Structure 1
Amino acid sequence: MKVKNIVKELGLSVFCGDESLDREVTGGYVSDLLSDVMGNASEGDVWVTLQTHKNVMAVASLKEVAAVILVKGHKPDEDTLAQGIEEEIPLLGTEMETFELTGKLYELIQNQNGG
């Protein structure tokens, strides 16, 4: 499944990274703790968080995640947006709560993988 399919299916906002919406999504990871993401997220994951500071994009780049989704209506800080543009990582947003979004995201990815 591609990031652009998730954006469409879940009605997500795209803050930056339009040029990278064709990235392949292989899974997901949910955490607001950067050290946890650094230790456990995998390349190709969609990272769900409410953190909005620029270190999120540094970790996203390090782990080569497919995209970052901000939940609960959180908006990226200006420097986060700039970092996302520089790293060419899709930074997405939703008004949904984390629990609701992750349930829908899990279902999408499972259906795509025949599960």
Structure 2
Amino acid sequence: MKIEDIIKPLSLEVKSCNQNIENSFSGAYVSDLLSDVMAKGNDGELWITLQTHLNIVAVASVKGLSGIIIVNSRCPDEETLKRAEKEGILIAITPLSCFEAAGRLYKIING
């Protein structure tokens, strides 16, 4: 599945690497603990979180994640978005809660 396929259903607003919406993803991991994502996140997954600080980009890059979805309309600062552009990490925000975003994405992926 491609990221562009979930933009409308998840009410996503892409904040970095808009060109990456054509990239595929294999699933998602939901966590707000960076150490948890480092331990259990998988290459090609999307990461759903409420974290907005600079370290989310480093974690996504090291783990080979397809992108980061930030919930509750929280927006990362300019420094984080610039680093995401530099690292090629798509960041999108949604007004949905973690529960709603994960639920909708699960339904899209699994019918």
- Give 1:54's aligned residue: 54
- Give 2:20's aligned residue: 20
- Give 2:104's aligned residue: 104
For 1:22 and 1:93, the matched residues in 2 are separated by 17
For 1:23 and 1:10, the matched residues in 2 are separated by 16
Is the partner of 2:8 in helix, strand or coil? Answer: helix
8 Å CA contact 1:19, 1:88 repeated in 2: no
Gaps of 5+ in 2: none
Q: Deviations over 1:26-77 (max 9, x none)?
A: 0100011001000100011110001001100110011111110000110011
Q: Deviations over 1:66-114 (max 9, x none)?
A: 1100001100111110111011111000111110110001111113xxx
* Corresponding pairs, count: 111
Gaps of 5+ in 1: none
Percentage identity across paired residues of the two chains? 42
Matched, 1:72 2:72: yes
Normalised to the residue count of structure 1, the TM-score between the two structures is: 0.92
For 1:80 and 1:110, the matched residues in 2 are separated by 32
